[in-house]
Structure 1
Amino acid sequence: MATRIDGDLSRNIARDPTRIPNHSLFLSILSPRSSPGMIRVSDFGLHEKGSDCCCNVLSTCLFFVNMQECSLNCFTFLSFVVRLVVHCLKVFNSLDTMDDVIDLTGDGGVVKKIITRAKAGALAPSEDLPMVDVHYEGTLAETGEVFDTTHEDNSVFSFELGKGTVIQAWDIALKTMKVGEVAKITCKPEYAYGSAGSPPDIPPNATLIFEVELLSCRPRKGSSLGSASEERARLEELKKQRELAAAVKEEEKKKREEAKAAAAARIQAKLEAKKGQGKGKGKAK
């Protein structure tokens, strides 16, 4: 039997696909109990995931597609489809980023956007694992200028959470991260350096953006002083290893250049010798 809907209702839905007065009717039409050839919302893998708006929009679209007869004219239907596609794109884009952007303070003072998620089961900082190692790059939100980074010399910055040794935004954000996670942390002045700034690199009342990678978290060793001494020793050892590796690399590069120059000299000598032999033959004739 052909299915019809009221013309006014269809035109209202075409103008705004999210306004569906009888959502249960559409879902019942599209339920798994429907005829085998009928498209269902479950075909899109939405089920309980996503938003009610997505279900509403898709239900309406599929309802129109599966109807054998409809009072909508061609122009109205095309208008509906265009509006539907635009709306779905907006909804899906917002859903993709919704879970990855978190307002950690509730006032927009510290906002974290996850760039790379940690692997399942990754460790996270805690009272038992307060020591953290990070890579980071800090930029001024207003100008995009980089004012600090560990990437230039591939160094590691280490500190203990909750001790006030870093800006408040870091203490707040790092507690929410897991090892292997990379996040962009945007912090307003009140959670960073405030009205004083940190001359000469950070002006007063500056909003800062940090891209932070949590490399590891570990337990505190001994007293704070002992931990600091051990950390300095560890960083010094890492620095020596990097310098040694750089020296070896430079020496290998120098040897390659010398070998290349020697090979070029030998080739040049052979060419000169051949030229000399050619001139001698010409004189003999």
Structure 2
Amino acid sequence: TRPCRGDVLQMHYVGTFAADGRKFDSSRDAGAPLTFQIGVGQVIRGWDEGVLLMELGEKAKLEISSDFGYGRQGAGNVIPPNADLIFVVELVAINGLKAPQDDTLMYGAGLMCLSFIALKICGCM
């Protein structure tokens, strides 16, 4: 099951800076998944586009260039301007339907990697 634009999702995530690997945010540290509507601008563009390619229960690594992240403005005192970001994400629920707690489904064939840095360079987006 994949999400569609407008679906309400629950995601766990850990966000790090691509340049040095420092963690800047984590839903697991906060103790609860992030709930948001996908494809309507509630999250950064890299999430809005990348998460739509995921299956319920899947984990993925989103490599997001600043153009698909927070861009020239950054985000408050946490994310500087023009920062490339990496998010390891897990799609926990779609419209209230939760993923099965089975590690074989969680990982599928391996950790999916969606690189918005590479996609932008190759002209795929």
Give the TM-score of the pair, scaled to structure 2: 0.72
Deviations 1:29-80 (A, max 9, x none): xxxxxxxxxxxxxxxxxxxxxxxxxxxxxxxxxxxxxxxxxxxxxxxxxxxx
1:135 to 6, 9, 12: 12
Residues in 1 aligned to 2:41 and 2:52: alpha-carbon distance in whole angstroms: 13
Q: Matches of residues 255-270 of structure 1 in structure 2 within 5 Å?
A: none
Q: CA deviation at 1:163?
A: 1.4
Matched, 1:169 2:38: no
Q: Give the structure, 1 or 2, with the largest relative contact order (CA under 8 Å, sep 6 or more).
A: 2
Gaps of 5+ in 2: 97-125
In structure 2, the residue corresponding to 1:166 is in which secondary structure? coil
* Corresponding position of 1:181: 58
Residues in 2 aligned to 1:184 and 1:212: alpha-carbon distance in whole angstroms: 6
Question: Hey, which bits of structure 1, 4+ residues long, moved more than 6 A?
Answer: none
Matched, 1:208 2:85: yes
1:159 to 14, 17, 36: 36
Deviations 1:219-253 (A, max 9, x none): 7xxxxxxxxxxxxxxxxxxxxxxxxxxxxxxxxxx
In structure 1, the residue corresponding to 2:67 is in which secondary structure? helix
In structure 2, the residue corresponding to 1:152 is in which secondary structure? helix
1:197 to 71, 74, 88: 74
Residues in 1 aligned to 2:57 and 2:95: alpha-carbon distance in whole angstroms: 14
Letter of the 2:83 partner, please give it: A
Residues in 1 aligned to 2:38 and 2:7: alpha-carbon distance in whole angstroms: 5
Q: CA deviation at 1:199?
A: 2.6
Gaps of 5+ in 1: 1-122, 220-285
Letter of the 1:171 partner, please give it: D
Of structures 1 and 2, the larger Rg is shown by 1
Residues in 2 aligned to 1:199 and 1:142: alpha-carbon distance in whole angstroms: 18
In structure 2, the residue corresponding to 1:151 is in which secondary structure? helix
Q: Matches of residues 16-31 of structure 1 in structure 2 within 5 Å?
A: none
Letter of the 1:195 partner, please give it: R
Q: CA deviation at 1:162?
A: 1.6
* Corresponding position of 1:218: 95
Q: CA deviation at 1:152?
A: 1.3
Letter of the 1:125 partner, please give it: P
Q: Matches of residues 67-82 of structure 1 in structure 2 within 5 Å?
A: none
* Corresponding position of 2:4: 126
Paired residues, what number? 96
